[in-house]
Amino acid sequence: MMWRPVWALIEREIMRMVRQRGRLVSALVRPLIWLLVIGAGFGTLLGDEASGGYQRFLSPGLLGMVMLFAAMLVSLSVVYDKEFGIMRLLIISPLPHYWVVIAKTISGMVVAVVQAGAFAVLLALMGYIGGGVSLPLLVLGLFATALACASMGMLIAVWSSTLDNFAVIMNFVIFPVFFLSGALYPVQQLPDVLKIVAVVNPFTYGVDLLKHALVGGLAPPLGPDFAAAVDITVLLGFAVVAISVACLRFSHESAAGVLDFLRG
C-alpha cells in the first residue's frame, strides 16, 4: 500500500473542508437544528422534556447523520472530480485504478470522523453526552460508521457516470438511509415492513454502535437494539463487500478504458 498518495487525497479533502467553511458550518448546524427543534418537539410529545431523554437518544443518530452526509459528499465527489480534472490526475498516477476507490473511501472516512468528532465535542459541551460514555466504543463507532457510509457512497459513485442532480441522491439515498434506520426512533418499534428495511440498512448498525457508546445505559426501547459485536461485524462486512464491488467495477470499467468510462 502506498501511503503517501492516500495521504495526498486525505490532505486535499481536509484542506477543502476547512476552506469551504459554509460546508463545515452547515454540516454542524444541520444536526443541531434536528437536536434542538425536532428533538425538543418530539421530546415534548413523548412527555420527557424534563429529562431530555429523547434528545439523548437522538445524539447517536445525529452523529451518524453528520458522517452520512460528510462521507457521502466526499465519495460522490469522485463523479464531480472528473469535471475539474482531478480524476485525470488520479488515473494518470502510477497506481492501479482500483486504488482511486480505496483512497477516496479512506479520505471520505477521515473527513466524516473529523466532522463527527467536532459535533461530539459540541454535544458534550451542551450536555447531551456525558456520564456512562464509552470512549473506545465511541471512537470505534465513529470510524466504523464513517467507513460504511463512505463505502456506500463509493458504491453509488462507481455506478453513476454522471450525477447531474445531487438532489436525486439526497432524496433517494441519503434521506431514506437516515430515516429508515434507528436514528430517530427505536428499530424495535417500527412497523414490520419498515423494520425489515431498517435491519437491512447498514447505517442502522452504525447508529446502534454509537448508541452502545453514548446511551448504552438508557432503558429499552431507547437503548441499542443489537449487540455491539453484531454492529461491528455488519459495518465492517458491508464496507469490505462494498469497496470490493466498487473496486471490481472501477477496474473492470477502467480496463475498457477509464476515460471512456468517465465520459459516461
Partner 1 sequence: MQVDVLPQSDTPLAIQATGLSKAYGELQAVDRLQLVIPAGQFFGLLGPNGSGKTSTIHMLTTLARPTAGQASVAGHDILRESVAVRREVGLVFQESALDRTLTVDENLRFAGMLRNLPRATIRQRSDELLELFNLSERRHMKVATLSGGMRRALDIARGVLHRPRVLFLDEPTLGLDVPSRRGIWRFIEQLRREEVMTVFLTTHYLEEAETCDQVAFLASGRIIGAGPPATLVRQFGHYVLEIDGTDLDTVAAVLSPRLGPCLREGGTASFRVLDEQVSFVELQAELNDGVQAVRWRRPNLNDVFLWVNDPALSVGLDI
| Shorter beta-carbon distance to partner 1: residue 47 or 260 | 260
Task: Name which position in 35, 62, 91, 228 contacts partner 1 (CB under 8 A).
Answer: 91
Give the separation between CA 114 and CA 215, rounded to whole angstroms.
21
Query: Is residue 16 part of the contact set for partner 1 (CB under 8 A)?
Result: yes
Q: Least separation, in Å, of the C-beta of 94 and partner 1?
A: 4
Query: Is residue 95 part of the contact set for partner 1 (CB under 8 A)?
Result: yes
Q: Least separation, in Å, of the C-beta of 103 and partner 1?
A: 9
Query: Is residue 84 part of the contact set for partner 1 (CB under 8 A)?
Result: yes
CB 158 within 8 A of CB 246: yes
Binding range to partner 1, per CB under 8 A, among 34-42, 89-97, 127-135, 149-157: 89-97
| Shorter beta-carbon distance to partner 1: residue 159 or 260 | 260
Task: Name which position in 62, 63, 70, 90 contacts partner 1 (CB under 8 A).
Answer: 90
Q: Least separation, in Å, of the C-beta of 102 and partner 1?
A: 14
Query: Is residue 12 part of the contact set for partner 1 (CB under 8 A)?
Result: yes
Closest C-alpha to 159, from 56, 259, 253: 253
Query: Is residue 85 part of the contact set for partner 1 (CB under 8 A)?
Result: yes
Q: Copy the grid coordinates of residue 154.
A: 463509493
Q: Copy the grid coordinates of residue 179.
A: 430515516
Find the angle CA(52)-CA(117)-CA(10) to the nearest 5 degrees: 155
Query: Residue type at 90?
Result: L
Task: Name which position in 41, 47, 96, 130 contacts partner 1 (CB under 8 A).
Answer: 96
Query: Residue type at 175?
Result: F
Binding range to partner 1, per CB under 8 A, among 1-9, 32-40, 110-118, 239-247: 1-9
# residues near partner 1 by CB under 8 A: 29
Query: Is residue 92 part of the contact set for partner 1 (CB under 8 A)?
Result: yes
Measure the N-to-C terminal CA separation of the chain; round to a whole number of Å. Answer: 29
| Residues contacting 208, CB < 8 A, separation 6+ | 60, 182, 187, 224, 225, 226, 231
Cβ atoms within 10 A of the Cβ of 165, count?
9
Give the separation between CA 51 and CA 98, rounded to whole angstroms.
50
Give the H or E element holding residue 91. helix 86-91
Give the separation between CA 152 and CA 71, rounded to whole angstroms.
9
Site pattern 224..263 for partner 1 (x: CB under 8 A): -------------------------------xxxxxx---
Q: Least separation, in Å, of the C-beta of 4 and partner 1?
A: 5
Residues that bind partner 1 (CB under 8 A): 2, 4-5, 7-8, 11-12, 15-16, 19-20, 84-86, 88-96, 255-260
